[in-house]
Amino acid sequence: MAKLRVGLVYGGRSVEHEVSLQSAQSILRNLDPSRYETWPVAIDHDGVWRAGAPGTALEAALEQGQRVELRTSPSGPALRGSEGPSIDLDVIFSIVHGRGGEDGALQGLFELAEVAYVGAGVLGSSLQMDKEAAKRLLAAEGLPVVPWTLVRLPELSRDARGAVARVVEELGLPLFVKPSNSGSSVGIQKVADARALGRALAEASRYDTKLLVERAVDAREIEVAVLGNDDPEASLPGEIRPRRDFYDYEAKYVDESTELLVPAPLEEAQIEEVRELALRAYRALEGAGLGRVDFLLERSTGTFFLNEVNSLPGFTEVSMYPRLWEATGLPYPQLLDRLIELALERHRVRSALETKFRRG
């Protein structure tokens, strides 16, 4: 049987460029070479797409690969080379984190090209990337979310002191400040007083024009991996125990003292509850393929709060998403197989939909 031609897309123009490279390296190591012909497709910091032949190192493809463009219509090879031959692909495995990669923009290109791709579609990707919009939908579904408010850049620019006063009046202190559209905890700060809140809002505005402010909760951080399209499954939960004040960028990627407990030490009833909540959140935010659902388990009450749903979680061998599935009985290579199967399945279903109106 012929090998599937997989385009591994990585890099991107976001602050999570380097995180994407780490994920892509792990995926490349674990894709079965007897089943897949993997083409590295790099997006550099300037947004230029470069492809290398199978076997090309990811850094080499990023720096020296031939320039390519994704087709803009459903005919011809998926990638058209400007300096060499075009490349046809059966499926794209995009691991471009952050803005322009998991916010629906890249998924829109894949839809226009009518090429199969791993993960959520345009709507699901966009909803899950925008933390504030996601919270509104989760709350509307009756799912528990931490109290929050939104500060938009025009309000902050016009009257920063007034914005700070409004937030403190609504939520009290301490608080978390987050860019609404960002990942890997970039731009997130915990604040305990009004002066620090003003500085945190200014810092977060470097990354987004929508700033989410949440009431701080003394909680354990619990995560559940979800896999599937219309009939998704939830993994066993895991727990993150950072040594720092919270699970920030340093704790995720630099500080080796962060503990990842897989599975999480929870009671059976809690495990059942959090897995069901994860599936409800995944469906509410139009999940497809994969997603990691993050929770806060309040210490004083034992209440689970939905923190966020991540449509494209980190994918190194030590990242929580693949580790959770390993603990649930699905090893990393087989997890990749399943994700590619789900991408092809979703593409077949969508390709069968009619695009021309017919009477009767």
**Measured on CA atoms in the order 18, 9, 182, 241, is the torsion positive or negative?**
negative
| Catalytic site residue from 23, 126, 181, 184 | 184
| Catalytic site residue from 88, 203, 241, 253 | 253
Residue 5 is a catalytic residue: no
Residue 159 is a catalytic residue: no
Residue 184 is a catalytic residue: yes
| Catalytic site residue from 23, 126, 180, 310 | 310
Backbone dihedral region of 225: left (phi > 0), alpha (psi from -120 to 50 degrees) or beta?
Answer: beta
| Catalytic site residue from 223, 294, 326, 337 | 294
| Catalytic site residue from 65, 228, 314, 346 | 314
| Catalytic site residue from 16, 221, 223, 337 | 16
| Catalytic site residue from 292, 307, 332, 337 | 292
Q: Which residues of 156-190 are buried (b: 16+ CB within 10 A; e: fewer)?
A: beeebeebbeebbeebeeebbbbbbbbbbbbbbbb
- Give the tokens for residue 255: 């500080």
Residue 292 is a catalytic residue: yes
| Catalytic site residue from 90, 248, 308, 337 | 308
CA distance 80 to 77: 6
Residue 253 is a catalytic residue: yes
- Give the tokens for residue 319: 């990242």
Residue 162 is a catalytic residue: no
Residue 76 is a catalytic residue: no
Residue 199 is a catalytic residue: no
- Give the tokens for residue 188: 């997130």
CA distance 207 to 229: 31
Tokens 């895991």, residue located:
238
Catalytic residue positions, numbered = 16, 184, 253, 292, 294, 308, 310, 314
